[in-house]
Chains A and B, each alone.
Chain A
Amino acid sequence: MSAVSSSSAALQPAAPKVLSARYMAWYRFSRNPAAVIGAFIVTSVILIAVFAPLIAPYAEHVGSVVNFRARHLPPDLEYLAGTDKVGRDILSRTIFGFRISLLLVIGVLGVSVPIGTILGLVSGYAGGMTERVITGLTNIMLALPPLVMALAIGNVLEPNLTNAMISVTLLWWTWHARLVYRVTRTVASEDYIEAARLSGASHMHILFREILPNCVAVISVKTTLDAAYVILFGASLSFLGLGVKPPTPDLGSMVADGRQYLPDMWWGVLTPGFAIFYATLGFNLLGDGLRDMFDVEA
């Protein structure tokens, strides 16, 4: 545009085009190899879990199959990852193990994230006594050692998947409550919140329509990173015998089983151990990538 002919353009300047936030976020994400790898891993884990019956070479080995003739076989063409102490295909059981891990993730985060988010929003916005009670409770819960709590709950109640989920959920909401509380405090002091209040918006409107959308980025990053920790934590619980009951295949208990025959029968822990590592790594990379993409701290 020439400067001389700008008399009419002066009112409607041909200023540089504004890039949309979505484009910039996608650009940051797609240029980050770690994030793309993370997204690929997480997608593959989800696909494996969903289509487990189709993928697993010996889907029936998930149940209580016993085939003593084939026990403790090292990896070969028939059993790609070897067999366990009762002759079941470790690869098939690992593939199904992803299902339990994801189930745990969905169960734990599906309950604890909404609870934590709501408590964080309310405590950050309301202030006063409400704030003190909720943040106080959060701090007390955070001071409890999670594994000890889980052991206690597992011992009082019956050790199974549901109870494991409950015990993890009971502790997990605190992290989200804290995070959302912090973001809410910042957002609530912005002019646009005051402007909405002065326009006559209700508290519900402000919490869920004005503040919550500003927390979404932080929550999704935190939730993705949390998925990795929940998988690890779930595996630890099953390793300690507090998770699912046999014969359901679970990555943690498979490692625990295989551990007894180390180091001679190394394949017993290799595949389930690698599966835990793979899923955890994927969620961690994806979470980091999302953090860069949204440009938030979580």
Chain B
Amino acid sequence: MLLDVKDLNLSFRTYGQTRHILKGVNLQIPEGGRVALIGETGSGKSVTSKAILGTLPDTARITSGQILFDSEDILQKKAEAREKMKGTAFSIIMQDPLSSFNPVFRIGQHLEDVLRYADIRLGEVTNHEDRIRRIDEVLQMVQLGDPERVRKAYPAQLSGGMRQRVLIALALLHQPRLLIADEPGTALDVTIQDEILNLINRLVDENGLSLLMITHNLGVVRQTADDVYVMRFGEIVEHGPIGSIFRAPKQAYTQQLVEAIPALYGERVKEQPQVEVLEGEKPVIEVEDVSKIFESRRFLRGKSEFKAVQNVSFDVFRGEVFGLAGESGSGKTTMARMIMGIMEASTGSITIDGHTRGLWNKDKDLRKKIQIIYQNPGTSLNPKRTVRQTLSVPLKALGYDAQKIDARIRELLNYVELPEHYMSAYAHELSGGQKQRVAIARAIAAEPEIIILDEPTSALDVSVQASVIKLLQRLRDELGLTYLFISHDLSLMRNFCSRIAIMRKGQLVEQGTVRDVFENPKHDYTRTLISAIPVMTEEEEQQKPEVSAEVRAQFLV
């Protein structure tokens, strides 16, 4: 056994209160094994990895247990000896490719510093040329073709995928025996994330490393691990080989977690019915040949243009859930903001329920008809206002009196399944899912007909996501809403939308019913996108469209 965590108990002391964070955690990683640690926000998975690495904050205290590495308890080792293990015995691939670099230093500087100090710790003498040679080797290992250009670049000059590769290189500089990956690629687009996971897999295979993959994405787990540990509130709930955990989870929590994952293919897909469109019925949202061009004028440099949206047309009919899918920079959010009336289209026209869309503040009738739910409920609720105050804003605008407002707020909380006593709560007292429910209540307060959902669940855990999606579906049926759902999560869209449009770099590449698009994708980009989605089962994997390496390469930035 390479790593053996035995009955680890850990507590944090903050604000004069002790919290028991890890409760008897047992975890084993065999030599050359690939182990995944999965769990939702606050389950303690990152704390576990920090305990192994020895990077816990000062407020944490390990109360009992052992961490055996090569049968030696590293918790008993002196600080100096533990320091030496960092980067050589184990190293970590960081989650956030941008904030892990200091923006004022070149990439080469970052890598060389790490290497030099690790060498000093190990008592090796190396010179600059030697280090550069080793850095170039590692950069080539992570498939960065032109190491010299990468070394000379500043972090901001590299794409997200390249930065993630550099982070992997950073972890590999000293050939560690255990690689810990903390949500690698989560912040990246699905096509790039897929590449990164393949790369990690290959590196682990070729170099005989052991891997501890920390993630909340069960699809990622299937691709990169053999053993799975499921964690919840600081306890290991269940563990076992991947096949048995995914196919026959024993614990209720694991079952719930597995069920909450939207399926891409197969029987578990929840097919959404197509909306019947009557003869001559007008679409409720008509987007015709819309473009949005951002111009920026720079001093002494003339004008530069950026086409965020180019000649996009689509129709949404009453009662539909229309999905607008795309990766970052595809123009889907710009499109949504134009439909919302927050931005004006440069050319083309947007018609909502027969009215031409103008800017929102000049268009009082449309304002009531259409509402938006934001991606991050943490920033879409004012931290200084209670739920009651937040919900009363749209009601006051409708001219309700105090009594009517109070009754309506109770009704709204009922709709979103929140107990009435939350009226006096502030945003920080609510969980992510509860906050999003308040945001939903605010959006439906003025009885709109259309709601734009801007990635409403991407900041939430999967099990919470499942319940929020269920709520949205219920509200659509009860209140007769039409949804425009914007997301990059195609497996969720497969189960939630009736029709879907795929955008890339401002252009609409394909649209159709979800069934058609997923079972018979026509555009190469759609195929690439679908094939990159991490799925839970081998059967689903096989039903994904086949994409050749050349086609895929063409869509990777």
Residue numbers of A with Cβ under 8 A of B are 1, 3-4, 6-7, 10, 13-16, 18-21, 23-24, 27, 190-202, 205, 209-210, 213-214, 216
Contacts and interface: CB of A to CB of B under 8 A. Distances in A.
A50 B35 CA distance: 69
Given A13-B233, A191-B376, A19 B371 contact: no
A195 B361 CA distance: 13
B382 A3 contact: no
A194 B342 contact: yes
A198 B379 contact: no
Contacts of A14: 233
Contacts of B113: none
A195 B385 CA distance: 13
Interface of B: 15-17, 19, 42, 232-233, 235-238, 251-253, 256, 340, 342, 360-361, 367-368, 371-372, 374, 376, 379-385, 389, 393-394, 396-398, 426, 428-429, 431, 439, 442, 445-446, 463
Nearest to A193: B382
Contacts of A6: 232, 237, 251-253
A16 B19 contact: yes
Given A1-B233, A210-B385, 10 more contacts: A3-B235, A10-B256, A14-B233, A191-B376, A195-B372, A200-B368, A200-B397, A205-B393, A213-B382, A214-B383
Contact of A18 (B342, B397, B428): B428
A3 B232 contact: yes
B382 A196 contact: yes
Contacts, number: 97
B385 A18 contact: no
A1 B24 CA distance: 13
Contacts of A194: 342
| Central interface residue in B235, B382, B385, by most chain A CB within 10 Å | B382
Majority secondary structure of chain B interface residues (helix, strand, loop or mixed): mixed
Contacts of B340: 198
A189 to B, nearest CB: 10
Given A19-B17, A190-B379, A3 B342 contact: no
23 contacts: A3-B232, A3-B237, A6-B253, A10-B253, A10-B463, A15-B42, A18-B428, A18-B429, A19-B17, A24-B15, A191-B374, A191-B376, A192-B380, A194-B342, A195-B372, A196-B382, A197-B361, A199-B393, A199-B394, A209-B389, A210-B382, A213-B382, A216-B384
Given A19-B15, A21-B426, A200 B398 contact: yes
A198 B384 contact: no
Contacts of B439: 195
A170 to B, nearest CB: 31
A214 B426 CA distance: 13
A262 to B, nearest CB: 50
Nearest to A24: B15
Q: B372, B393, B428: which has the most chain A beta carbons within 10 Å? A: B393
Contacts of A1: 233
Nearest to A2: B235
Nearest to A216: B384
B233 A201 contact: no
Contact of B372 (A23, A198, A201): A198
A195 B451 CA distance: 13
A191 B380 contact: yes
B380 A195 contact: yes
A184 to B, nearest CB: 14
